[in-house]
Chain A
Amino acid sequence: MLKREARLAWGLLLPTLAIVSAVVALPLLAIFWISFKPIGLADLRPPAPVVREALRGSDDKLRLEFRVRNSSQTEPISGVTLSDRLPDGLRVVTADPRCVFDGADFTCDLGDLQGGARDRVELFVTIEGDADAAENAAEESAPIVTGQSNSILTNFEFTLDNFRRIFSGDEFWGVFGVTVFYTVFGTLGALIFGLFAALLLNKEFRGQGILRGLYLFPYVAPVIAVAFAWIILFDPFSGSANALLLQMGITGSAINFFGERPLALIMVTVFEIWRYFPLSFLFILARMQSIDTDIYEAADMDGASPFQKFWYLSLPQLLGILSVLFLLRFIWTFNKFDDIFLLTGGNAGTRTLTVNVYEQAFAISNIGAGAAVAVVVFCCLVVFSVFFFRFVSREEGL
């Protein structure tokens, strides 16, 4: 019975396991592999021979010409061969000595092709029958070229250059500091504002449902929509925020909110708080509503003041959910990418580790370095989650 149950369990889990390991585990392994490779964006396509076929010349100069070139400018391709079928209506007069015929099929052994090198195979032919048809047939048939090249992605050549590169200089520690600032203040801010909002809505009144729905908007709306709305709102030239501040006399000249250090970092952190306070608010509110009201009545009898009740009764009860939220939000804020990417693109001192992955891999086209940063991010995550499980399994039994 038990055995059958276990078998059924694995049966039910198998599809999920398969797909998750294919898309999570394999990429994780891949990222470790790539981080030790000297690889750029351009190396993603391994060097391959490229061929063009044409019927050229006329009369006794009439020839079927194959032009072969190496797609890579630097990497050699070895053992290049070209094979095709001679179209009907053509007869070979003299052939390239490297080609061997087997009826209408032929194979030419071209040897090695250096980086950026070109080669040409000529078969002098005569046309028997309709010239146009033969020409079309010649150009339609697709010749097959093969060759072995050394792909950086799959060979066993490793390097530590990527790590050396990202850890060298002050840049890494700058990025790391920005990440820590963003994560710590983003998380704490979202928690504090969430707690405040939850306290506001933890009572029955008309319109409570509407307000609760409204306060969840920032989290539910697509990040791209709200990020662009913020950019437009805080635009230095035509943003409403600047116009308001100018008109109220708070500032003398327009402020470039997302373009100045250290204001940009503060702004992206504020955005993070704005976008995620609804989430903490929702969790804290759910926990608050499950607190037994008896203790508050007892406290009222004893003459406790409202602040005392909050400090000595509510807060200890909320401590569990607050710490779980803190840890989870800390991890996910650390992992956050799209918000900063959309708001500043990592400029003006807002480049966090995750944005740096993208920057290195796609902006500088150095996939290896990007992967190395990703490995660093992943290692931080492992440390956090060890901490998380040791702490949280005691707290909330997740």
Chain B
Amino acid sequence: MNLLRHGYVTGPVLGALWLVVLAFTLAVLMSFTTGDPFRPALLISVLAGAVIGGGVAAMRPGPRGAALAAGAALAALSLPGLAPIAAGDGAGAVWRIAGNAVLGAGFGGSIQMILHALPGAGALTRHEFEDAVIRFLTGFGYIFFTAIVAIPFYVMVMTSLKNQSELIQNPLDFSIDLSRGWGLLRSYVELFADFNFGSYLWTSFYVSVLTVLLTLAFSIPGAYAVARLRFRGRAVFSRSILLIYMVPMIVLALPIYIAFSMTGLRNTIFGIVLIYPVTTIPVALYMLQGYFRGLPAEVEEAGLMDGLSRLAVIWKITLPLSLPALASVSLYVFMIAWNEFLLAFMLLDDPSKFTLTRGIASLNSSEIPRQHLMAGAVVATVPIMALFLGLERFMTKGLTAGSVKG
């Protein structure tokens, strides 16, 4: 450890690691955008990174200087077999040289930021060393998390815009042929024209809205009673809410399937609307009672003093005060209902009554090309994402308030 804490060691080690990370990222990025085979050359990355890292640590250039020097160095190196990003057959030389130059410039600039607080050569204090390591880890963390989150969604969207034969020919080629114009959206058009997705979208929408309304109608009075009113068994009650919230759906799904089969509720939207709120009421109860408890009781008492009845107090004082919480709960419940898969899958067989998630499940067959499947996935994801991004504040609050569940 002490050996590591030395300007001439920390600089090259972090430099080498950082260049490997960047080379990897950029190679993947370039492969995904151009479809040409690019790969990081591990050994060269380590060597070049160590040299540049050592240089930056020793000479302490400004950020611009470091970026320019490293960019120029890697661009000059980018002969076949010598650069951190190597290209396979058929990859354009322009791309390769440009890629390496960009890599070098980015690397130079960022390694300067990672190492700039180091006092040049000599032993480092614990503080300086750990600061540099943390800056490296932070950079790595941003790249890592962004990549793992973005790649599946990127693949989902891009796959939906291509066709089966292109995909099988080169699975890495996500470049889009813009000359196809509206033709790019062919699988979406087909989904709505031939696979009835308009109706699924509508079903999902109104089932979710109904679920939200029913959930609120049941959980607001219940949550208020648990949060505010004194009665025997309140503590037990408030605890059993959480307990119900933990019962696995698959355990309930089996008897519900049996009961619905016997009463003819299976394959009806009515059955689905009946069952969805029950899965969300415990969550909503739990979230709302927490919020009601946090409201100042004095306001309500003032209302009671002025001669309002309890119910009038709830309607005229408590509910207006808790609008933000109601928004969070509604959004969260909407998300659960929109994303629900298991019950829809088990209870709906009739294609005219499918919800969106059930509709996507029916696309998962070998006869239906996968761009349709991915287009369906995009259709299901976009509305909930738009809602989420538009109302992120409420959503985040809702998530933290009640949702360790999923």
Chain A interfacial positions (CB closer than 8 Å to B) = 2, 5-6, 8-10, 12-13, 15-17, 19-20, 22-24, 26-28, 30-31, 34, 44-45, 153, 196-197, 199-200, 209, 211-226, 228-230, 232-233, 235, 237-240, 242-244, 247-249, 274-276, 279, 282-283, 286, 303, 305-307, 324-325, 328-329, 331-332, 334-335, 337-338, 341-342, 354, 357-358, 361, 367, 370-371, 374, 377-378, 381, 384-385, 389, 398
B260 to chain A, nearest CB (A): 10
Which residues of B (141-163) have their CB < 8 Å from a CB of A? 141-142, 145-146, 148-153, 155-156, 159
- Contact A34 B255, beta carbon cutoff 8 Å: yes
- Contact B381 A274, beta carbon cutoff 8 Å: no
Q: How large is the interface on B (under 10, 10 to 19, 20 to 34, 35 or more residues)?
A: 35 or more
Using known A-B contacts A197-B145, A214-B150, A225-B378, determine if residue A220 contacts B385 with beta carbons closer than 8 Å. yes
In the assembled complex, B50 has its CB within 8 A of some CB on chain A: no
In the assembled complex, B247 has its CB within 8 A of some CB on chain A: yes
How many Å lie between the Cα of A235 and that of B373 in the bound state?
14
- Contact B126 A225, beta carbon cutoff 8 Å: no
Select from chain A the residue with minimum beta-carbon distance to B361: A224
List chain B residues, Cβ under 8 A from A27: 251-252, 254-256, 259
Partner of A389, one of B138, B239, B381, B406: B239
The 6 closest A-B pairs by CB, nearest first: A335-B248, A225-B377, A27-B255, A12-B221, A6-B231, A30-B255
How many Å lie between the Cα of A5 and that of B258 in the bound state?
40
- Contact A222 B338, beta carbon cutoff 8 Å: yes
A246 to chain B, nearest CB (A): 9
How many Å lie between the Cα of A308 and that of B54 in the bound state?
27
- Contact A357 B254, beta carbon cutoff 8 Å: yes
Additional 10 contacts, C-beta under 8 A, given A220-B384, A328-B405, A357-B250? A222-B338, A222-B356, A222-B360, A224-B377, A244-B28, A331-B246, A335-B248, A354-B250, A357-B254, A389-B239
How many Å lie between the Cα of A214 and that of B146 in the bound state?
8
The main secondary structure of chain B at its interface with chain A is: helix
- Contact A249 B384, beta carbon cutoff 8 Å: no
A19 to chain B, nearest CB (A): 6
A63 to chain B, nearest CB (A): 35
Chain B interfacial positions (CB closer than 8 Å to A) = 27-28, 31-32, 37-40, 88, 126-127, 130-131, 134, 138, 141-142, 145-146, 148-153, 155-156, 159, 167-168, 170-172, 174, 218-219, 221-222, 224-226, 229-232, 234, 237, 239, 242-244, 246-252, 254-256, 258-259, 261-262, 274-275, 277-278, 281-282, 285, 310, 335, 338-339, 341-342, 356-357, 360-361, 364, 370, 373-374, 376-378, 380-381, 384-385, 388-389, 392, 395-396, 399-400, 403-406
Using known A-B contacts A19-B278, A220-B388, determine if residue A211 contacts B142 with beta carbons closer than 8 Å. yes
Partner of B250, one of A20, A274, A303, A335: A335
Partner of A19, one of B218, B392, B403: B218
The main secondary structure of chain A at its interface with chain B is: helix
- Contact A279 B403, beta carbon cutoff 8 Å: yes
Select from chain B the residue with minimum beta-carbon distance to A18: B218
B123 to chain A, nearest CB (A): 15
Using known A-B contacts A20-B281, A229-B374, A357-B251, determine if residue A12 contacts B335 with beta carbons closer than 8 Å. no
Partner of A16, one of B38, B155, B285: B285
